[in-house]
Amino acid sequence: MTRRTKFLGPIVAAAVAFGGLAPAFAADNQDVIDYRERIMKTLDAQVAVLGQILSGATPDDQVVSHLEAIAEAASQSLKSFEPKVEGGESLPVVWTNWKDFEMRMKDFQSKTRLAADTAKSQGKDAALTNILDALRCKDCHDVYRKKQ
């Protein structure tokens, strides 16, 4: 280590410790936020088309595929919230109340997976019987998402 780097070393360490290099990390944080938001937007899109089908506005011939897409995106969601990066539409309570959040997400994952598997094995009508119980989006959004 040269004299100059010896001199800079403590400064860099202090900058990192006190957030002086925040811009470099902010870019990473934005990636984390973008990642989870895109997963939630996927869920939003597929739940919306399912809603259209349930309301009779759209034919129901792709229900199995939509349920599978919802289950798949639901399986991605918890992982995307694991990095504790506040911002976007997430409230800090996601991480301060992680156990509850995690439990709700796992419940969401298992119920949407069950619905998708039921649709494949028993048909769409069987899967749609309890679908509203699987898609309790609002319960979570009321607690963990910023008011829109």
Partner 1 sequence: MNRLVKCGLALAVLVAPVMAHADDQDVMNYRKNVMKTMGEQNALLQMVVAGKVPADQFVSHIKTLHLAATQAKKAFEPKVVGDGSTGSAKAEVWSNWADFSKRIDDQVTKLAALEKAAAEGGVAKAGPMIATSLDCRGCHENYRVPKK
What is d(CA 40, CA 37) in angstroms, rounded to the nearest whole number?
5
The count of chain residues that interact with partner 1, using the rule CB under 8 A, is 28
- 3-class DSSP state for residue 120? helix
Contact flag: residue 62 with partner 1 (CB under 8 A): yes
- Residue 118 as a binder of partner 1 (CB under 8 A): the answer is no
Identified binder of partner 1 from the candidate list 15, 25, 38, 125, rule CB under 8 A: 38
| One of 29, 60, 72, 140 touching partner 1 (CB under 8 A) | 72
Q: Which two tokens stand for residue 141?
A: 């959004």
CB 119 within 8 A of CB 110: no
Give the one residue of 49, 114, 140, 143 binding partner 1; rule: CB under 8 A: 49
**Does residue 85 bind partner 1 (CB under 8 A)?**
no
Among 79, 84, 106, 120, binds partner 1 (CB under 8 A): 79
- Contact between 105 and 78 under an 8 Å Cβ cutoff? The reply is yes
Told to check if 84 binds partner 1 by CB under 8 A, we report no
